[in-house]
Amino acid sequence: MERAAVFDVDGTLVDTNHLHVVAWWEAFRQAGHHVPMHAVHRAVGLPSTDLVAHLLGDGRDEDQDADISAGHKALYGQYFDRLPALPRAGELLRRLHENGWTVVLATSAGGAELSALRRAIDADDAIAATASADDVREGKPDPEPVEHALELAGVPAERAVFVGDTVWDMQAGSRAGVRCVGVLCGGIPRADLEKAGADAVYADPAHLLSALDGSPLA
């Protein structure tokens, strides 16, 4: 039977979380909001509209939401030509592909941002499909992105593993009924990932690759 290895991208395969933090922090600052960077970091991985709501709360001026999100998009876009893949990320995807896994990306990125991320990973030959923000109505921690990735792979949840770096990833994967693997390279503590549903936690793609034979992706 087919097996699916579903991967988050930001903070999991590409070292972008702190670039997002700076871009969001500046977008909030420009809109007159002083949001601590540590709070922004914990919210990274949510869809843009949900992230703004999560950080500013229900009492905010919702008319600002679109401008804040657009500000983040413009600021983050300045990094598109130099996004850094995490160590051995592309090699990990190619190894899994060689081992018979169907590799699918499940990300809140879309359009030019997703293209830039895929260029950074440089493993298109191993990626069977991508469930992006353009394909779903709800983002993580809703299970829809992971469920859509499974549909693209044609694989049931019990034959899939989801790898991500945030609690939102672990919650989405758990709600979709797949085994979850966490990585620490996004900056979220091991205990938080495990509490949110991670069956195993590794430092980064290179660590997961080196420990592959004893991992849920064996």
- Percent of the chain exceeding pLDDT 70 equals 100
Confidence band for 1, pLDDT divided at 50, 70 and 90: confident
Tens digit of each residue's pLDDT (9 = 90 or more) over 79-89: 999 999 999 99
Residues 6 or more apart in contact with residue 50 via CB below 8 angstroms:
139
Kindly report the backbone phi and psi dihedral angles of residue 129, in degrees, each rounded to the nearest multiple of 5, phi listed first. Answer: -165, 165
Q: How many residues can be counted in the chain? A: 218
Confidence band for 198, pLDDT divided at 50, 70 and 90: very high
What whole-number distance in Å separates Cα of residue 217 and Cα of residue 202?
Answer: 12
Tens digit of each residue's pLDDT (9 = 90 or more) over 68-117: 999 999 999 999 999 999 999 999 999 999 999 999 999 989 899 999 99
DSSP letter assigned to residue 211:
T
- Percent of the chain exceeding pLDDT 90 equals 96
